[in-house]
Amino acid sequence: MTQAVSDRLRRRRAGVLLHVTSLPGGHGCGDLGPQARRFADFLAEAGQAWWQTLPVGPVGAANSPYSSPSSFAGNAWLISLEDLVEDGLLEPADLAGEAAFTSGRVDYAAMRAFKGPRLRKAFAAFTKTGSPSLWAGFLAFLRQQQDWVEDYATFRALKRHYGDERSWTSWEPAVRARRFRSWPRDLLQAIGQEQSYRQFEQFLFARQWERLRDYAARRGVGLIGDVPIFVAHESADVWAHAELFQLDSQGRPTVVAGVPPDYFSADGQLWGNPHYRWGLLKERGYDWWLSRLGTAAQRFDAVRLDHFIGFENYWEIPACAKTAREGRWVGGPGADFLERARRALPQLELIAEDLGCVTPAVVALRERFDFPGMRVMQFAFGADRQAESFLPRNYPKRTVAYTGTHDNDTTVGWYNDSGAAPGARSLEQIETERHKARVYLSCDGSDIAWDMIAAIFRSQADTVLVPVQDLLSLGSQARMNRPGTVTGNWEWRLRQPLDEPLARRLARLTEESGRFGETDVRQDDRSAAHARS
């Protein structure tokens, strides 16, 4: 009998945080092909039970995975060209050109210029000579994902037709409002081929993702995903379900999301996402949200609910505001929504990203549903009154512990911060935190990343997850994201696969700390789960 996923996050286990784009190879960007399988091999050899990624949807503004044009679709740039050769949709000669990507970072413009024509060539081959099995898989995919895939494909086709820089709110009224019977025939003809191509992209992504998930399962590795609480305004979600968001008559947000001043920004963070009409969602049984989580459950074994605080209360900012300081707290859907989600998806384990303005009400909501919360060790040495809770000696057992996250500097970068760049920490604060860290860890700071890794591994937290940058003791140049900035983020990637000495070192610590258990993900369990989905 298949074990409930919730039982797996109660086991004493460990894993690694690495976004797929950060893998080496892949023609300018990491993908779902050979290097992803090789990373799953590394995790298995190192005794790791989990691989956590960032959101895997199409990237949006500033290439952020947290600002996607769809909460359901997959990122087509993660499709492996090597695997398309195996499927007979490309020729080996189509792969030539990886050597041209020499920057060591994700070059989004060059990657798109290289992969885009090849993905379209694969589509042309599929439409002309695709095998019966591929066609059967494609048609089955369209049936299974009909709740979202046609809306997404139509939205992307319209964006290409009108211009990607043009907001959907400026389209003709009939198109903006989705009055399909009033659409001109020439528009339908103009976007038809592009709609089919976008559906084909999603089929390829789903096919390759399932292949990777099955491979990881055979190696004993589960996948943890990330579901942002908010969605981008320039998305198929908002266009197709405008009634679910707080918009004006032209489709523009009236209030937007963000957070008040915090550790990352003195002015707070003005994200700009439209807020939900939670009252209407409740009347509809939270159908859109449950469908969204159901899609996540098809891809992942557990999911981090980003900005969990927003389900209890969220920061509402007038759309005309210049900074997030002008916002106010508004009550969220709370237990009513989470109870519906648990009943609908009992097999999906949820992790509460409960960082930030954590009130007693937020804690009570998380504890009511027994979701593991998060602890980030980099926060343990500040002057904040909550800092003590981030020390490993104070971690509750039902916790997912990190040295840092994608929004933090790397641990080495955090420790060696000069205080010269604009930020929330003064040089005096940095020196104080360094001293506290050395005292707590009984170390001299020369191997600070691994000293902190060892500390969270030896804590009583059920789950520990380490950014791969910390495993490699990399500095600030390897940072993934700087909240409040819009350039230079989401570009870091591994230059080469992780090696055996690193796997052995991680395996020793995993075993010493009692986190090296029996295989948690079995292929027979995955097959049974897939058959039910």
pLDDT tens-digit series, residues 9-54: 999 999 999 999 999 987 889 999 999 999 999 999 999 999 999 9
Cβ 383 vs Cβ 426: under 8 Å: no
Closest CA to 512 of 472, 454, 461, 463: 454
Please classify residue 320 by burial: count the beta carbons closer than 10 Å to its beta carbon, then call 0-12 exposed, 13-18 middle and 19+ buried. exposed
Per-residue pLDDT, averaged over 376-402, amounts to: 95
Share of the chain above pLDDT 70, in %: 94
Per-residue pLDDT, averaged over 404-420, amounts to: 94
Arithmetic mean of pLDDT over the chain: 93
Task: State residue 522's pLDDT score.
Answer: 42
| Three-state DSSP state, 349 | strand
DSSP 243: G
Task: State residue 99's pLDDT score.
Answer: 59
Per-residue pLDDT, averaged over 402-422, amounts to: 92
Active site residue: 98, 147, 262, 407, which one?
A: 407
Q: Is 336 a catalytic residue?
A: no
pLDDT, tens digit (0-9, with 9 covering 90-100), for 348-369? 999 999 998 899 999 999 999 9
pLDDT band at 523 (very low <50, low <70, confident <90, very high): very low
* Beta bridge partners of residue 350, listed in sequence order: 303
Active site residue: 306, 409, 433, 491, which one?
A: 306
pLDDT band at 518 (very low <50, low <70, confident <90, very high): low
* CA distances from residue 298 to 136, 180, 220 in whole angstroms, order as listed: 19, 30, 18
Q: Is 407 a catalytic residue?
A: yes
Task: State residue 267's pLDDT score.
Answer: 87
The β-bridge relationship of strands 313-318 and 328-331 is: antiparallel
Task: Please state whether 384 falls in left (phi above 0), alpha (psi between -120 and 50) or beta.
Answer: beta
Residues ≥6 apart with Cβ < 8 Å to 427: 418, 419
Per-residue pLDDT, averaged over 59-88, amounts to: 96
The b/e string for 196-205 (b: 16+ C-beta within 10 A; e otherwise) is: bbbbbbbbbb
Q: Is 353 a catalytic residue?
A: yes
Task: State residue 496's pLDDT score.
Answer: 87
Helix axes 448-457, 427-441, angle to 10 degrees: 60
| Residue 464 main-chain phi, psi, to 5 deg | -125, 140
Task: State residue 532's pLDDT score.
Answer: 35
> The tokens of 460 are what?
């009583």
Cβ 89 vs Cβ 122: under 8 Å: yes
Can you list the alpha helix ranges (DSSP code H) found in 300-347?
Answer: 309-312, 334-344
Per-residue pLDDT, averaged over 139-163, amounts to: 97
Active site residue: 353, 417, 470, 491, which one?
A: 353
Task: State residue 39's pLDDT score.
Answer: 98
Task: State residue 525's pLDDT score.
Answer: 43
Position 130 pLDDT exceeds 80: yes
pTM of the full predicted structure? Answer: 0.94
pLDDT band at 7 (very low <50, low <70, confident <90, very high): confident
Please classify residue 20 by burial: count the beta carbons closer than 10 Å to its beta carbon, then call 0-12 exposed, 13-18 middle and 19+ buried. buried
* Stretch (H or E) spanning 37: helix 34-45
Task: State residue 6's pLDDT score.
Answer: 56
Amino acid at position 226, single letter: D
Task: State residue 98's pLDDT score.
Answer: 67
Q: How far apart are CA 135 and CA 74, in angstroms?
A: 19
Per-residue pLDDT, averaged over 253-261, amounts to: 94
Position 97 pLDDT exceeds 90: no
Position 521 pLDDT exceeds 60: no
Position 264 pLDDT exceeds 80: no
Task: State residue 104's pLDDT score.
Answer: 81
pLDDT, tens digit (0-9, with 9 covering 90-100), for 414-436? 999 988 776 668 899 999 999 99
CB atoms within 10 A of CB 70: 25
Task: State residue 483's pLDDT score.
Answer: 85
